[in-house]
Amino acid sequence: MSATDTSDPCLDAERLGRLGGWIDAAGLPGAGAPLESRFLSGGSQNEIYELRRGDLHCVMRIPPATAPVDRDKGIVREWRIIEALDGSDVPHTEAVALCDDQSVLGRTFYLMGFVDGWSPMDLKGGPWPAPFDADRAARQGLAYELVDAIARLSQVDWRAKGLEDLGRPEGFHERQVDRWTAFLERIKGRELPGFDEAAAWLRTHKPLDYVPGLMHGDYQFANVMYRHGGPAHLEAVVDWEMGTVGDPKLDLAWVVSSWPEETVTEDRDVGGYVDMRGMPSRTQMLARYAEVSGRQVDDIDYYVVLAKWKLAVVLEQGFQRATEATPALHAFGPIVLDSMRDAAELAATTHYRS
């Protein structure tokens, strides 16, 4: 789409013109060349556009006009994280530029490097792309790359990167139950069986150790991008909306909470929304994280209970907001109940006693 193309009302000719002027003022490449945009995806919190202008090829992440005002602060938080990752060995998009001048496009936004890759989220339940569709052994690389990225993320020196104020690592675990219980009370529309049982368990158990670090907050296959072709190579971790300084092992818990121990099977449905056949086992994934991160994982059950319990509460908010026009939010209903049930069942059966 060029500046004269008005087929997308979100970036019409007037807005593209203002964006181009800001790009010039920021000293980015492509001065004088036409600015082209392509809508990639969007929702209630973010719109994502591919931008091209001469040698500049990047992606813009911006809240829609209808997003809450505080979403602009969230955009700045995301920007600070990807900027801090520059120079690290964590796969990430290049930090290009941040604009907090809302006279440009009406919202705070940032530009990040374009990643020429693919996301497992785009598979929508279909087969892996080649060569991972036919070569199950090659899928091991997809899994190990996934867990290696958060293991490396846990090693980032967040203080040296100027992220001391990004979160509140002191008392992180002590706050979790009270914070999310209060959150649920504000949006509560039904009973969630297992909530009280899992909450009570979390109040009386803690991790074996707690080493604060940078965490993604919603880490899973849906929020990474891989390079095309094989062998597997994770190009970038994306969608840092929940990123903070807290306990990085919660990211590991998101990954392994539904990861199967048995992956040598012909059951296509094992493990969730992607085909897990041929992947490493859950035990192997935990061992890999421990090896790369240098952190022990003997207390993983604590983190999985917390992750499942918290996930149920967060998704319940979406379910309570569901309308006839938002079928995806309605789908959260049974997921919430399953996740809360799983949290309570693990709390009741685990041998973890710290």
Quote the CATH superfamily of domain 118-349: Aminoglycoside phosphotransferase (APH), C-terminal lobe (3.90.1200.10)
Name the segment(s) of the chain with CATH classification 3.30.200.20: 9-114
Predicted structure pTM score: 0.92
DSSP-derived 3-state class of residue 135: coil
Q: CA nearest 244: which of 265, 274, 220, 218?
A: 218
- Classify each residue of 138-157 as buried b or exposed e, where b means 16 or more C-beta atoms within 10 Å of its C-beta: bbbbbbbbbbbbbbbbbbbe
- The pLDDT assigned to 270 comes to 62
CA distance 324 to 321: 10
Place of tokens 């705070």: 108
DSSP-derived 3-state class of residue 225: strand
Which residues make beta-bridge pairs with 51?
37, 58
Q: Amino acid letter at 74?
A: G
Quick one: CATH architecture of 9-114?
2-Layer Sandwich (3.30)
Beta carbons within 8 Å of 306's beta carbon, 6+ residues apart: 176, 202, 250, 253, 343
Q: CA nearest 288: which of 141, 157, 133, 158?
A: 141
Encoded tokens for 266: 């012909």
Q: CA nearest 204: which of 196, 212, 192, 193?
A: 196
- The pLDDT assigned to 354 comes to 83
Q: Which long-range contacts (CB under 8 A, 24 or more apart) does 94-98 make?
A: 94/58, 96/28, 96/58, 97/23, 97/26, 97/28
- From first to last of the 354 residues of the chain, give the pLDDT tens digit: 444 343 444 688 899 999 999 999 999 999 989 999 999 988 778 999 999 999 999 999 999 999 999 999 999 999 999 999 999 999 999 999 999 999 999 999 999 999 999 999 889 888 999 999 999 999 999 999 999 999 999 999 999 999 999 999 999 999 999 999 999 999 999 999 999 999 999 999 999 999 999 999 999 999 999 999 999 999 999 999 999 999 999 999 999 999 999 988 776 666 567 899 999 999 999 999 999 999 999 999 999 999 999 999 999 999 999 988 888 889 999 999 999 999 999 999 999 988
Q: How far apart are the first and last CA of the chain?
A: 57
Place of tokens 């041998």: 351
- The pLDDT assigned to 295 comes to 97
Name the segment(s) of the chain with CATH classification 3.90.1200.10: 118-349
- The pLDDT assigned to 6 comes to 39
